Amino acid sequence: MKPKTTEALIKWLLAAFLVLAYVFLYMPIVHILFASLSTRPNFPYPPELNFASYSRLYNNSVYQSAFANSLIIATCTAVLATVTGFLATVGVLRFGGRRALFYAVLFAAPLFVSEILLGISSMSLYYLAFGIQGNMVTAIIANSVHCFSFSFLIMAALLYRYDWRMNEAAIVCGASPMRAFWEVMLPLTWSGIMGSLICAFVLALNGLDISFYLLGATPTMPSVAWGALRYGVKPELYALSTIINFAVFVAILGLYLRIRSEARKNRRRASTAA
């Protein structure tokens, strides 16, 4: 076969496979979307547009307090994970030196320890050392450890090609190190920081294993969902699920548009300078 035809054949086969993969990933989500809007949640076809489950969700106080808890945990985790992740990223890329690989592996280590281990080990520590079962603070910290690795990887991936001599150039132009960071580095790392915040926030919001062991009775959104799931699904769950999915989608979309507009601005600047 001519090279062109083989090439085209391979390309279309791969494309078909890709489509299959996306269908696999999204079909359940879309199914739940329909189910949340239907009066027959088990088999919502043909799709309807009924918001009853959403209003029930809104009025359900258990979900509300659980959601509030989850929000608090998620927000604090996002901030804590991003800050430490940022320090770690700069530390490894700028000050790592010969031990850079060692530090990088260390900082990525939590990813290779499953969430459940993180949960039970933290729980054990607090119980053994302080006799407490755990509370919001410990839950936030444990979640941060897990999300820290994600933050680190995201920001390291984006900061990898940053030329540190730009900071030096700024300092030579008279800026203090703090100023150099603020004016020169921060704008370029925005997408990394945003990505990290979003990722950490959503992971902590939706993560069950870690918070579960550290909060016991205090409800979080996933733990309530889990409870409802085990005892037969209620349609409110579908509504909740759809809302969260939608929010994640919007957040990622926002991040993407931001990245794209940054890239466009840079290209415009580069072409006018040329």
Using CB under 8 A as the binding rule, the residues of this chain from 252 to 271 that contact another protein are 252, 255-256, 259-260
Integer Cα distance of 274 and 272 in angstroms: 5
Q: Residues in the chain, how many?
A: 274
Residue 18 CB, nearest distance to another protein (Å)? 5
What one-character DSSP code corresponds to residue 113?
Answer: S
Residue 92 in tokens: 């490894």
Among 49, 160, 174, 274, binds another protein (CB under 8 A): 160
Hey, how many other C-beta atoms are within 10 angstroms of the C-beta on 90? 19
Residues 6+ apart with CB under 8 A from 155: 85, 86, 89, 189, 192, 193, 195, 196
- Taking Cα atoms as reference points, which of 77, 245, 195 lies closest to residue 145? 77
Q: Which of residues 189-208 bind another protein (CB under 8 A)?
A: 198-199, 202-203, 205-208
Question: Which of residues 92, 158, 180, 184 is near another protein by CB under 8 A?
Answer: 92
Site for another protein in 123-142 (CB under 8 A): 123-125, 127-129, 141-142
Using CB under 8 A as the binding rule, whether residue 15 contacts another protein is answered as: yes
Q: Which stretch binds another protein (CB under 8 A): 47-55, 58-66, 100-108, 168-176?
A: 100-108
Determine the angle formed by the axes of helices 136-159 and 115-130, rounding to 10 degrees: 140
**By CB under 8 A, is residue 274 in contact with another protein?**
no
Q: Which of 71, 245, 258, 262 binds another protein (CB under 8 A)?
A: 245
Q: Which of residues 36-65 bind another protein (CB under 8 A)?
A: 42-43
Looking at residues 72 to 91 of the shown chain, list those that interact with another protein (rule: CB under 8 A): 84-85, 87-88, 90-91
